[in-house]
Structure 1
Amino acid sequence: MTGEGRRPWVVGISGASGTPYALAAIGALLDGGEEVDLVVSRAARLTILDETGISFRDSHWREDLAALLDWKPSDPRLDAVRYWTAGDFAAGPSSGSYPARGMLVIPATAAAVAGISIGLSKDLLQRAASVNLKERRPLVLVVREAPLASTTLEQLLTLSREGAVILPASPGFYAGGQSVQRLVDFVAGKALDALGVEHSLLRRWNGQLGEQRG
């Protein structure tokens, strides 16, 4: 999965609460045969540990990702993942010549939004997002903050004008949301819709009232 023909989606996980959103999106991408370049911020590691009890480590990223997805480390779907450390500014996604298809930041903190909007490139996540913006590739930011400060709203407007899709983590209860996972999948599914990736995370509205739909 590291040959010349590889064209991955970059998935960045920042430190906001919302680990399940990221896992649902990653799992759906891999289930669909897509290739993924994964970047996990330092702050995200603390959130992952708090929300799942799993310590995500650079040196054992495959095993830790498998545990988070409830897969075996030998699962062949994981062969489609390439992991880059957050401090690696020589990583592939840091360059516009790297053949990424686009990027999903899920969840996105206000700090990540600020850094991306001003081109701060504090870490690889912010740098890769800025690269996707300048290359006019899809960039979807699943914002998981509430409430939003005026400065963050202004930064989101700037990013939207530059071509990013701003997708708040707002689940649709009309999708038959009787379980938390159903609501998580709805948000992850909407994010993949914005990237133009096919998936089966949600059932879609069919115009019929009184039926469970997504």
Structure 2
Amino acid sequence: MNAGETQRRPWIVGVSGASGTPYAAAVLRALLEAGESVDLVVSRASRLTLLDETQISFRDAHWQDDLREWLSRGADGKPGTFETDVDGVRHWSAGDLAAGPSSGSYPSKGMLIVPASTACVAGVALGLSKDLLQRAAGVTLKERRPLVVAVRETPLNGQTLRHLVTLDDAGASVVPASPAFYAGATHIQDLVDFVAGRVLDAAGVEHGLYRRWKGELGGGDATRTT
């Protein structure tokens, strides 16, 4: 590593195979807009979900082009909705268990798993480390760094609930992908941004993705903060 690289402290963003790739896109855009560096791990299962939800193939050899196309789309799937500079992103293949985030000595601010499937939740809770996403999450926990798990599934059975309690006991923040309506949502993107904003709240990253509650009823039509 050169001197510049040793100062880089990214947020690791893991994308698992649950439905909800627009949530991941919103979190990634907000992190980059906040000037944060990002290490991205896209699981094999999530690539199938991304293809199904957006018709985008995420390829290791062309990940920058594919990521740029993905982040350009709004939650309604329309391309060209956003323009995002992806120069602050480093991509690691999910099968690369020798990647930087697999080690506790690799500097990071923490990790966000969005969306998190029940299989991913189980793997992290049980310490399976079957791929880089799970391994990086386990490293984040053992190093006592922030881990935010945006679980996206319904209904939740008892086994998954026990796994979530295990993660909570280990210090993770469990953030269900559950949009609220008090922020005055008028578009599907508003609902997506609310969930993404709550993920970032749990990580302590500043953003302006949704209108915050101020203790006043009837404020749902107020102008959203930016």
Pairwise CA distance, 1:77: 2.8
Unpaired segments ≥5 residues, structure 1:
none
**Equivalent position amino acid for 1:94 in 2:** S
Cα-to-partner distance string for 1:143-176 (whole Å, 9 max, x where unaligned): 0011111111001101100100011000011111
Distance 1:95 1:201 in 2: 32
Pairwise CA distance, 1:76: 7.9
The residue number in structure 2 matching 1:3 is: 5
Distance 1:19 1:150 in 2: 25
2:66 is aligned with 1:64: yes
Cα-to-partner distance string for 1:82-138 (whole Å, 9 max, x where unaligned): 000000011000000000100000000000001000110010000000000000000
Q: Superposition pairs for residues 11-90 of structure 1, below 5 Å?
A: 11-70=13-72, 77-90=85-98
The residue number in structure 2 matching 1:152 is: 160
Identity of matched residues, %: 63
The residue number in structure 2 matching 1:210 is: 218
**Equivalent position amino acid for 1:66 in 2:** R
**Equivalent position amino acid for 2:91 in 1:** Y
Distance 1:152 1:208 in 2: 36
Unpaired segments ≥5 residues, structure 2:
74-79
- 2:181 aligns with one of 173, 179, 193: 173
**Contact 2:71–2:84 under 8 Å retained in 1:** no
Distance 2:43 2:144 in 1: 23
Q: Superposition pairs for residues 115-194 of structure 1, below 5 Å?
A: 115-194=123-202
The residue number in structure 1 matching 2:76 is: none
**Contact 2:18–2:153 under 8 Å retained in 1:** yes
Distance 1:141 1:192 in 2: 11
- TM-score, normalised with respect to structure 1: 0.95
- 3-state secondary structure, aligned to 2:66: helix
**Contact 2:72–2:84 under 8 Å retained in 1:** no
After superposition, the Cα gap between the structure-2 partners of 1:167 and 1:76, relative to the gap in structure 1 and judged at 3 Å, is closer
- 3-state secondary structure, aligned to 1:185: helix
Pairwise CA distance, 1:208: 1.9
- TM-score, normalised with respect to structure 2: 0.90
Q: How large is the Cα RMSD of the aligned pairs?
A: 1.6
Distance 2:158 2:214 in 1: 37
The residue number in structure 2 matching 1:108 is: 116
* Equivalent residue pairs, number: 212
- 3-state secondary structure, aligned to 2:164: helix
Pairwise CA distance, 1:190: 0.3
Distance 1:65 1:77 in 2: 10
Distance 2:84 2:47 in 1: 24
After superposition, the Cα gap between the structure-2 partners of 1:141 and 1:203, relative to the gap in structure 1 and judged at 3 Å, is same
Distance 2:59 2:211 in 1: 35
